[in-house]
Amino acid sequence: MRVGVDVCLISRFEGKEELAERILSPKELSEYEKAVDKATYLARAFAAKEAFVKASGRKDIDYRRLEIDHEEDGRPYLLLDQQRIEGDLSLSHDFVAMAVLLLEERSNG
């Protein structure tokens, strides 16, 4: 098991449409454009993708290849190139966005 954690101050993501275009998958970008709180949406996505990089060691990955999706009960998980990553993702936000990813060893990510 490998662990990745990232924490972002949400206010730093206000008005960062260019960053959104660089890191969000097409589906996420569509959701971002409709989001009431764009800064929180973007900070949360960034934190999750940074947590993946830290857990996997893949520093050169194009963040647009990673996508957050959710189980029917609301639990988040990560996709890489539309394939589910084996691991557990937890997201939280309240002034900061935080992501914790427990990545299974067998997952190359």
Query: For position 109, what pLDDT does the model report?
Result: 52
Of 100, 95, 101, the C-alpha closest to 13 is 95
Express each pLDDT in 19-56 by its tens digit: 999 999 999 999 999 999 999 999 999 999 999 999 99
Could you give the domains of the chain?
2-103 (3.90.470.20)
Q: Which residue has the tokens 């988040």?
A: 76
Average pLDDT over residues 8-27: 97
How big, in percent rounded to 5, are the helix, strand and coil portions of the chain?
40, 35, 30
What is the full DSSP assignment across 26-52? HHHHHHHHH-S-HHHHHHHHHHHHHHH
Considering the entire predicted model, what is its pTM? 0.93
